[in-house]
Amino acid sequence: MSLKKVNPEQPKTFEFNEKFKNIAEEILEKYPEKNKKSAVMPFLYLAQKQNNNWIPLAAVKYISKYLSMPYINVYEIATFYSMFNLSPVGKYFIQVCTTTPCLIRGADKIVKVCKQKISQKENQISKNGECSWTEVECLGACVNAPMMQINNDYYEDLDEKSSAKIIDSIFKDEILEPGSYRGRKNTSPENKKIINGTDHA
């Protein structure tokens, strides 16, 4: 896993557009007046979504003023959590889980595919500018290992072939459906149906 880096080229200003400002105000209504600062993480998510999958420092400053928080507090949160990107990552951001359950079931092969098809290094945008990849800690889908997250979606029960097929679909801008690539339903056993708690092969 590589260290998170702040993009050296930064826009001078940032503010929510009308669509995201309305969403931000709806989020704020869910918090008591004295706890408005608790909206910082959803606000960072909105800023990232509006700005093509990454958060410029101008957005950190904007959010700190919006929520009446010290700038450094918002910056600490943005740099701590792996789901926030402080540099451009492309239209499709691929996070490959390489924690123990995924690793022992073949996550290294997914990493290999990413290096072959996207870039040799983590957090390096592909030649066509469409995507990048990185290794991350546990994404909470251990029972469906190995897996990767692409933007907001989980792709599970992967192998080298299925990973390559999914990444190829990204380059065609025709990304495949998320979910299990062994035909499983959620966390059910492979090649079985569960009806009323009973296995049916």
The pLDDT score that the predictor gives to residue 135 is: 93
pLDDT per residue, tens digit, the chain (201 aa), is 455 678 888 999 999 999 999 999 999 999 998 899 999 999 999 999 999 999 999 999 999 999 999 999 999 999 998 889 999 999 999 999 999 999 999 999 999 999 999 999 998 999 988 899 999 999 999 999 999 999 999 999 999 999 999 999 999 989 899 999 988 877 777 666 555 555 544
pTM: 0.80
Pair (70, 101) in one structural domain: no
The pLDDT score that the predictor gives to residue 194 is: 52
Gap between the Cα atoms of 124 and 6, Å rounded: 13
Tell whether the torsion through CA atoms of 162, 97, 151 and 157 is positive or negative: positive
The residues that bridge with 193 in the sheet, in sequence order, are 200
Among all chains, which residue has been given the structure tokens 């056993």? 189
Six-digit token string for 118: 């996207």
The pLDDT score that the predictor gives to residue 42 is: 97
Residue 13 lies in a domain: no
Pair (68, 99) in one structural domain: no
Pair (69, 101) in one structural domain: no
Helix (H, G, I), strand (E, B) or coil at 78: helix
Residue 192 lies in a domain: no
Residues 170, 163: contact at Cβ < 8 Å? Answer: no
Q: Which of 4, 18, 90, 76 is nearest to 48 (CA)?
A: 90
Residue 11 lies in a domain: no
Gap between the Cα atoms of 48 and 45, Å rounded: 5
The pLDDT score that the predictor gives to residue 201 is: 46
Domain count along the chain? 2
Residue 191 lies in a domain: no
Q: What's the N-to-C CA distance of the chain in angstroms? A: 40
Read off the CATH number of the domain in which 117 is found. 3.40.30.10
Going edge to edge, which strands form the sheet with 148-150?
Answer: 131-136, 92-97, 148-150, 153-156, 179-180
Domain's final residue, options 57, 80, 103 = 80
Read off the CATH number of the domain in which 53 is found. 1.10.10
Residue 151 lies in a domain: yes
Residue 115 lies in a domain: yes
Gap between the Cα atoms of 12 and 114, Å rounded: 33
Pair (174, 96) in one structural domain: yes
- Report phi then psi at 20, rounded to 5: -75, -25
The pLDDT score that the predictor gives to residue 15 is: 96
The pLDDT score that the predictor gives to residue 196 is: 52
Residue 163 lies in a domain: yes
Pair (63, 135) in one structural domain: no
Report how far apart, in Å, the C-alpha atoms of 188 and of each of 25, 97, 160, 178 are.
Answer: 39, 21, 22, 16
Among all chains, which residue has been given the structure tokens 């679909």? 169
Q: Residue 53's domain spans which residues?
A: 18-80
Six-digit token string for 162: 């299925």
Residue 58 lies in a domain: yes
